[in-house]
Amino acid sequence: MSLSKNNDEEISKTRIVNLDFLRGFFIILAMDQHFTYYINMWYVEYFRDSIALTSTYKIHFPMIGHQIATDHFNHMLGLIFTPWVSQVYLTLAAFNLARKSQLLFKDELSAKLKMFALIFIFFFMENCIVAPNFGQAISIYPIMLWMVVLAILSIAYSLLGVQAILILTVLSFFRWILPMEILSNFFQSIIIYNIHPGFEYDARLEYFFTSGCLGFIMGYVHYQKPNMKKLKDYYFFLMGIVLVAFYVAYGDPFVIDPANAFMHEHDLARTLSGTFYIIGIQAMVISAFLWMEKRSIRFNVPVISWVGMHSLLVFAFHRVFFVRILAPLIVMIGSLTGRTLSASTWELYTYVGITILVCYLIKKTHMGEIILQKRG
């Protein structure tokens, strides 16, 4: 018991530099995707100051009702990363979840479930702030699903051990035999017809669950199977190659609409071959970066790694900041300079950079503690 506890405490003090880098890199890509979508749809759903369209915002008047397409480079980034960028953050979170032994994990279960519930509630409230209508405000989006998946994995592991995770992993592939899609469509239709037509259940539990299982299994092997340390990265990488090869041989090509970044986001997750691709590419990337970490090849890139270490802050802040502050300010500046919104790559990453800078200032100045009136 004491040895296990000491081992867990030692593990918790160490960070994997390359996984911080990956987490930051994918959070930045997620910000790119979100900002792209909001600009895509700004003049369709998010522009709310119509009373001034013939005066202050007259330059924007011809754009009302039109979707803004992104440029070719950002479109290519979407084709490469969109199918799995919303999955890999969950995979990395589940990887960290497997740090501790089952016995100690059980002691912390209630605290973890409380944390997941609070994060779920927070992002539900955030969604209410940024959504353009009530239906989208009550919709279920990826980060909310991540908390559900992490809670299920936590309960299963604390009660039944890693065997339960393996069973859940196998069962997650049976969703193509079971009527999961029918049940999800039925649930969505009930809310649409009885509460609000804008509701979306696009990010579905069955689309994400296998990624959560993958992350937990990889984390469990990494932290708790030292006898496999030399070969585990090769095994997972090889598994990834096989799964991606299956998709290349049998899967349908992935497409992205430049004028709607979210339209096809979960297309690959709906299919068996697409799920193989998502799982495979994640296994390959995470294994490769763990392998490099083991050989002291570390990607400690200041801005990206900082975002990875403070990913929850950035994720919690960026949508409200962009929709409620940054984009309206850009629209106002556009009114003065004669420019409408654009979804070009350089503009999008300017907005990403501004958002990260504001998050850094919030963290650096301890603004959160000041607002909450915390005392040092």
44-85 confidence digits (pLDDT tens)? 999 888 888 888 889 999 999 999 999 999 999 999 999 998
**Quick one: average pLDDT of 132-145?**
90
β-partners of residue 257 are: 260
pLDDT for residue 371 = 57
pLDDT for residue 227 = 84
How many Å apart are CA 272 and CA 286, to the nearest integer? 21
pLDDT for residue 4 = 44
How many Å apart are CA 166 and CA 103, to the nearest integer? 18
Is residue 362 in a domain?
yes
Helical (H) or strand (E) element with 337: helix 327-337
Q: Is the pLDDT of residue 2 over 50?
A: no
Is residue 42 in a domain?
yes
User: With bands split at pLDDT 50, 70 and 90, how would you rate the model's confidence at 12?
Assistant: very low
Residue 34, token pair as written in the block: 């979100």
Is residue 148 in a domain?
yes
**Quick one: average pLDDT of 224-232?**
84
pLDDT for residue 293 = 94
Q: Is the pLDDT of residue 1 over 60?
A: no
Taking the mean position of all CA atoms in its chain, how far away is CA 165? 21
Residue with tokens 């090509």: 253
Is the separation of the CB atoms in 135 and 196 below 8 Å?
yes
Domain span at residue 239?
A: 2-371
User: With bands split at pLDDT 50, 70 and 90, how would you rate the model's confidence at 145?
Assistant: very high
Q: Is the pLDDT of residue 194 over 90?
A: yes
pLDDT for residue 282 = 97
How many Å apart are CA 319 and CA 262, to the nearest integer? 15
Is residue 376 in a domain?
no
What's this model's pTM, rounded to 2 decimal places? 0.90
> Out of 226-230, 313-317, 372-376, which region has the weakest mean confidence (pLDDT)?
372-376
Is the separation of the CB atoms in 206 and 172 below 8 Å?
yes
Residue type at position 74? N
**Quick one: average pLDDT of 87-102?**
93
| Alpha carbon separation from 142 to 65, 193, 201 (Å, rounded) | 27, 23, 10
Mean confidence (pLDDT) of the chain: 90
Is residue 234 in a domain?
yes
The total of structural domains in the chain comes to 1
Q: Is 257 helix (H, G, I), strand (E, B) or coil?
A: strand
pLDDT for residue 235 = 94
For 333, half-sphere exposure in the C-beta direction (CA atoms, 13 angstrom radius) is 8
Contacts of 276 (CB under 8 A, 6+ apart): 243, 244, 246, 247, 251
pLDDT for residue 64 = 92
How many Å apart are CA 276 and CA 241, to the nearest integer? 10
Is residue 70 in a domain?
yes
Q: Is the pLDDT of residue 8 over 50?
A: no
Q: What backbone phi and psi angles, to 5 degrees, belong to 169?
A: -60, -45
pLDDT for residue 48 = 83
> Out of 152-166, 236-250, 355-369, which region has the weakest mean confidence (pLDDT)?
355-369
| Cα dihedral across residues 55, 59, 65, 67: positive or negative | negative
pLDDT for residue 374 = 58
Q: Is the pLDDT of residue 3 over 60?
A: no
Is the separation of the CB atoms in 34 and 85 below 8 Å?
no
How many Å apart are CA 159 and CA 49, to the nearest integer? 53
How many Å apart are CA 240 and CA 280, to the nearest integer? 4
pLDDT for residue 369 = 65
Residue 360, token pair as written in the block: 């850094």
User: With bands split at pLDDT 50, 70 and 90, how would you rate the model's confidence at 372?
Assistant: low
Q: Is the pLDDT of residue 275 over 90?
A: yes
